[in-house]
Amino acid sequence: MLIPALRPLFRLQQILVALSSNTHKYNRATNLGNSTIYGNPFLKFLSTLSQPTDALAVGTNPNTDNSEAVVALFSRYGFSSADTTAVLSKNPRLLSSKPEKTLEPKLAFLSKNGIRGVNLARILSKDPHVLSRSIDRSIAPCIRLLKGFLRGRSGGGDATGTEIAYHFSLRHGTRVLHQFSEAMAPNIETLQSHGVPRENIERMLAIRPRTLARDVAEFAEIVKTAKEIGLDTSSMGFIRGVVALSGMKKEKWESKIEVFKSLGWSDEQVRALIIKQPRTMDGSAERLRKSLEFLSEELGWGPDQILIYPVTIMLSLEKRMVPRYTVMKKLIEKGVFDKKRLGKVFYMAEDKFVKKYVEFYSKDIPQLLDLYQNKVQS
């Protein structure tokens, strides 16, 4: 039985052998220092695999000729060895695809529409599963949608390939390709008709395109409900509210409203909270109740105080709220901290909180650090 630490090396050897279907190819694949590497894109690619895990990513039993064709195709479109490694490590199945039939038409289409060179390599290195989408059902109609919607940045006309590439380069920017629906265009028009700014819709396309893919009639009803709640259509809060409403059934939304009411909140106070921070409705009703009860029973906060610090409802009780309150409670008891300033403490970055309150006061309260660490780890 192989020692676990040696398994990657053994698998690397297996892969190199699998890539060598005859003695000639075996010699080429194992003699990576030979100058013949640089005449063969696939061997050049193999020579860049510095870790056994990189080699594992190219597949367990690849067809050498096909693999060479795939790597050569990426090379023709300007991908560096590092780019190709990134693509194939995240989507190794591409090595078994037929490059001329399935890959090249997609690369050619994207290039033709201005997404080429460094931009194309960067986007596909981040999300190579784009190449698994259908041109006709996903890639082409999505590009048409973005060309029309993102128009105007360059002085009129359709958006350029560079502008579309920029959108795809955003964090989660390619989600729109994976979640594309013909409903997106009319749903965007619905938002625009209610005065939602273009830049906010762009962010929605990047972070939550699934919401825009909803049935047109259902989406219109969600937008109507968001307006009835009182969300400002010109703010990102409106987008967050639409996303929250879209992510749950009406019964679940109402069950969360009931949690607030059962703890003494008025309709107006609930509405004010949703307007200020719609994402407070994202969690389950049970989690919402636990957070509200902690804020009320432990901190003594009522709705008005929670409305000042609404994000506290969304923070983890176990990892942040309880550990930090345990520390601050000690400091309040010692008279070195004013309880009225407690809300800001929960918003602080972890390193800043530890340095300012845990480490600073540990010299006077030796058990403070252990107390905090035990709560965080429990």
What HEC string does the chain produce?
A: CCCHHHHHHHHHHHHHHHCCCCHHHHHHHHCCCCHHHHHCHHHHHHHCCCCHHHHHCCCCCCCHHHHHHHHHHHHHCCCCHHHHHHHHHHCHHHHHCCHHHHHHHHHHHHHHCCCCHHHHHHHHHHCHHHHHCCHHHHHHHHHHHHHHHCCCCCCCCCCCHHHHHHHHHCCCCCHHHHCCCCCHHHHHHHHHHCCCCHHHHHHHHHHCHHHHCCCHHHHHHHHHHHHHHCCCCCCHHHHHHHHHHHCCCHHHHHHHHHHHHHCCCCHHHHHHHHHHCHHHHCCCHHHHHHHHHHHHHCCCCCHHHHHHCHHHHCCCHHHHHHHHHHHHHHHHHCCCCCHHHHHHHHHCCHHHHHHHHHHHHHCCCCCHHHHHHHHHHC
pLDDT in tens, 310-335: 999 999 999 999 999 999 999 999 99
Cα separation of 191 and 186, whole Å?
Answer: 9
Q: Identify the pLDDT of residue 269.
A: 94
Q: Identify the pLDDT of residue 29.
A: 41
Around Cβ 335, how many Cβ atoms within 10 Å? 7
Buried b (16+ CB within 10 A) or exposed e, 338-362: eeeebbebbeeeeeebbeebbeebb
From first CA to last CA, the distance across the chain in angstroms is 38
Cα separation of 257 and 108, whole Å?
Answer: 51
Q: Identify the pLDDT of residue 76.
A: 94
In sequence order, which residues have a C-beta less than 8 Å from that of residue 247 and are 6 or more positions away?
Answer: 211, 282
Closest by CA to 321, choosing from 346, 351, 339, is: 346
The most confident of the ranges 77-91, 109-123, 237-251 is 109-123
pLDDT in tens, 336-360: 999 989 999 999 999 999 999 999 9
At residue 153's C-alpha, the angle toward residues 149 and 154, to 5°, is 125
Q: Identify the pLDDT of residue 48.
A: 53
Contact assessment for residue 304 and residue 335, using Cβ atoms and an 8 Å cutoff: no
Contact assessment for residue 92 and residue 83, using Cβ atoms and an 8 Å cutoff: no
Domain boundaries, the chain: 248-313, 315-377
Q: Identify the pLDDT of residue 152.
A: 53
Q: How confident is the model at residue 79 (pLDDT cuts 50, 70, 90)?
A: very high
Confidence check: pLDDT of 40 > 80:
no
Confidence check: pLDDT of 38 > 60:
no
Contact assessment for residue 81 and residue 44, using Cβ atoms and an 8 Å cutoff: yes
pTM of the model: 0.71
Confidence check: pLDDT of 73 > 50:
yes
Confidence check: pLDDT of 31 > 70:
no
pLDDT in tens, 102-124: 999 999 999 999 999 999 999 99
In sequence order, which residues have a C-beta less than 8 Å from that of residue 249 and are 6 or more positions away?
Answer: none
Contact assessment for residue 64 and residue 19, using Cβ atoms and an 8 Å cutoff: yes
pLDDT in tens, 246-305: 988 888 999 999 999 999 999 999 999 998 998 899 889 999 999 999 999 999 999 999
Q: How confident is the model at residue 150 (pLDDT cuts 50, 70, 90)?
A: confident
Q: Tell me the one-letter amino acid at 105.
A: P
Contact assessment for residue 196 and residue 236, using Cβ atoms and an 8 Å cutoff: no
Closest by CA to 188, choosing from 203, 174, 170, is: 203
- Can you read off the two tokens belonging to residue 152? 């105007």
The most confident of the ranges 1-10, 79-88, 253-262, 275-284 is 253-262
Confidence check: pLDDT of 199 > 80:
yes
Contact assessment for residue 99 and residue 73, using Cβ atoms and an 8 Å cutoff: yes
Around Cβ 168, how many Cβ atoms within 10 Å? 26
Mean pLDDT of all residues in the chain? 84
Contact assessment for residue 115 and residue 156, using Cβ atoms and an 8 Å cutoff: no
Confidence check: pLDDT of 239 > 90:
yes
